[in-house]
Amino acid sequence: MTHKTLAQRLDDSVRWTGTAATVAKPRHRRPQRWWSTLAIVVATAGLVVAIGWPALRWPGYAVLMAAFSIANFMPIFGPLKPWGGTEPIDERERAIRANAFLIALSVVSFVAVVGMWGAVATSAFGNWDGATLRLAIVDLAFYIAALYSALPTCVASWVERRLPDEDD
C-alpha cells in the first residue's frame, strides 16, 4: 500500500474531476465568421436603439448585452489564440493575430473617440440629464467591449480560409 502526500491526493482529486484532462486537450479553434459578425451587427443595433430611442432604452440595452455575451465567446472558440496563453502558436498564427488586432484596435479606438464626443455633443443638443448621459456612456462601454472581443475574431475569420483538417 502506497502512502500519498496531501499534495498528491489533491492532484488525484483534481484529475478525478476530469478538468485537468479537459484543459490539457488541444482546443478546437474554428473561424467564427457568422457568429462574430452577428455579435457586432446586433451590438450596433442595440446601441443605436438604446441611445436613439429613449422609450426603447431597456430593450436596446438587453439586445446589446445579448450581443456582448456572444462576443465574449469569440476569443474562446475563434481562430485567434490569446496573448500570453499556454496554447502553442507559430509564426503564421502570430502574424494573423497581430494583423487582426491592429485592425480591430484601430476601429475600437475610433469608435471610442467618436462615441465619447458623440455622447457629449448629443447630450448638449438633446438636453439630456446626467442620468441619461451616464446610461449612454455605460451602453457605449459595453459596445466597445463587445467590439474588442468580437472584431479581432471577425477579421481573422473572414481573412483566413481554413484548410481541411484531414491530412493530404
Partner 1 sequence: MHNRIALFRAEYGLTRKALAEAVGVNPQTVGYLERGDYKPSLELAMKIAEQFGVAVEHLFSFTPFEPVADTLRRAGDR
Q: Which residues bind partner 1 (CB under 8 A)?
A: 88, 90-93, 162-163, 165, 167-168
Q: Which is nearer to partner 1, 31 or 60 (CB)?
A: 31
Q: Which is nearer to partner 1, 54 or 82 (CB)?
A: 82
Smallest separation (angstroms) from partner 1 to the CB of 98: 13
Q: Which residues 6+ apart lie within 8 Å of 119 measured at CB?
A: 51, 133, 136, 137, 140
Smallest separation (angstroms) from partner 1 to the CB of 33: 16
Smallest separation (angstroms) from partner 1 to the CB of 90: 4
How far apart CA 154 and CA 108 sit, in angstroms, is: 13
Q: Which is nearer to partner 1, 73 or 160 (CB)?
A: 160
Q: Which is nearer to partner 1, 99 or 132 (CB)?
A: 99
Neighbours of 29 (CB within 10 A): 17
Smallest separation (angstroms) from partner 1 to the CB of 117: 40
Smallest separation (angstroms) from partner 1 to the CB of 93: 6
How far apart CA 9 and CA 14 sit, in angstroms, is: 9
Q: Which is nearer to partner 1, 90 or 129 (CB)?
A: 90
